[in-house]
Structure 1
Amino acid sequence: MPFLHGLLLAIGLILPLGAQNVFIFSQGSLQPKFRMALPVVIAAALCDTILILLAILGVSVLIINIPVLKTILIIAGVLFLAYIGWITWRPNGLASSTGEASRYSPRKQVMLAASVSLFNPHAIMDTIGVIGTSSLHYGGPAKWMFAIACIFVSWLWFFSLAAAGRIMGKLDSGGRLMKVMNKISALLIWASAIMMIVINA
């Protein structure tokens, strides 16, 4: 039951189209080969894993309750999201359809994926407010079964999202769809930044 609960809860939380999902999808589409999108996928999945574990262990709640640290995290998050939104909005987005994406170093891909994951108020509220709270119903092995289910969904979803993006990239030979996706992604990222300011004002 704990595993099934975690599975269904994680699926419901991760499916909505947010900045993180659009970013991973676009990278899967823009990279010339699927393996070149793996740094983005793995970084996002690891970030989600960390957030889930922190929420279940209760560490994230303690961090959020420290005013100075919370303020620093909010400012850093808004700045990161504003920057990523800007480079995504540009004509070529985070990469062009002509192969510019292949010249991004894995380090830069990881940095961008981590920032859009860790500084995403939607992801933070989901993990702390929903997953963390739901895990309080379980203890011992049951709690870890719940955690494993949530983490499993996260990894499977991000790999599937990048794979779907890769397929779409092959079909979208002119790159028109990806230009639209870049605009949508930028707007969602900026909306996340604004939401972070409003929520914590």
Structure 2
Amino acid sequence: MPTIALSGFLTSLALIVAIGAQNAFVLRQGIRGEHVLPVVAVCAAADALLIGAGIAGLGALVTDHPTVLTVTRYAGAAFLLVLAVGAAARARRPDRLDPAADGPAALGAVLTTCLALTFLNPHVYLDTVVLLGSLAHQHGAGAWVFGAGAAAASIAWFTALGFGAAYLRPVFARPRAWQVLDLVIAGVMATLAVTLVV
């Protein structure tokens, strides 16, 4: 059973450790030191929920109804474009990039963005519900052990990313560093939006 859990952990880690909109958002919140724990908890809980749904059989339902993924794809692309434009606009005003300048964002707004980045991304359903759900069932009675390992990887990754970002704060004491980060985030989100549609 420990081997099955480790397999789930490593498989999940390989899927989520990539530059994406959700990871970029968690990184930015971590650097800002703003609502980090709730963001990490929402990301990890969402992954655990989706992995569990995949093991419970939702994967077959998703693959049988591609229209759901299509609608999610276009809604997600539109949302990512809005975020990309916002990041690009911030980067054009380096004098306003100090996180303390306009105060912290409201928790509700931060969590809404986090949830949208998670659930409006069709790849999250393919990775967690379909792929991890299918791989879990290859372990027979150990499917839920595999799922637990996969969920543990999500917890470990988002915790490391969100709280580990604090070590980058000295670098981001300068507006220029925030400008570069926001340009990278804008590029990542715009690219993801295009790939979702194309």
Give the TM bin, normalised by the shorter chain: 0.7 to 0.9
Q: Identity rate of aligned residues, in percent?
A: 24
- Aligned residue in 2 for 1:6: 8
Q: 1:169 to 1:101 in 2, by over 3 A?
A: farther
Contact 1:51 1:127 in 2 (8 A): yes
Contact 1:121 1:195 in 2 (8 A): no
Note the residue ranges of structure 2 that are not aligned, 5 or more in a row.
Answer: none
- Aligned residue in 1 for 2:174: 174
CA distance in 1, matches of 2:69, 2:157: 29
CA distance in 1, matches of 2:122, 2:139: 25
Contact 2:55 2:133 in 1 (8 A): yes
- Aligned residue in 2 for 1:43: 42
Task: Tell me the amino acid that sits aligned with residue 126 of structure 1.
Answer: D
Map of 1:98-177 to 2, 5 A cutoff? 98-99=99-100, 102-140=103-141, 142-177=142-177
CA distance in 2, matches of 1:113, 1:100: 22
TM-score between the two structures when normalised by the length of structure 1: 0.84
Contact 1:120 1:192 in 2 (8 A): no
Q: State the 1:68 CA deviation.
A: 4.2
- Aligned residue in 2 for 1:192: 192
Q: 1:137 to 1:100 in 2, by over 3 A?
A: farther
Contact 1:18 1:188 in 2 (8 A): yes
Deviations 1:4-25 (A, max 9, x none): 1101111211222222112111
Contact 1:81 1:115 in 2 (8 A): no
Deviations 1:14-39 (A, max 9, x none): 222222112111111023x6xx3222
> Between Structure 1 and Structure 2, how many residues are aligned?
193
Contact 2:5 2:145 in 1 (8 A): yes
Contact 1:77 1:120 in 2 (8 A): yes
Q: 1:134 to 1:102 in 2, by over 3 A?
A: farther
Deviations 1:41-70 (A, max 9, x none): 222222222222222222143134224433
Q: State the 1:195 CA deviation.
A: 1.6
Contact 1:92 1:179 in 2 (8 A): yes
Q: 1:192 to 1:98 in 2, by over 3 A?
A: closer
Q: State which drifts further: 56-65 or 148-157.
A: 56-65
Q: 1:71 to 1:11 in 2, by over 3 A?
A: closer
Q: 1:51 to 1:62 in 2, by over 3 A?
A: same
- Aligned residue in 1 for 2:29: 27
Note the residue ranges of structure 1 that are not aligned, 5 or more in a row.
Answer: none
Q: 1:176 to 1:121 in 2, by over 3 A?
A: farther
TM-score between the two structures when normalised by the length of structure 2: 0.85
CA distance in 1, matches of 2:153, 2:102: 27
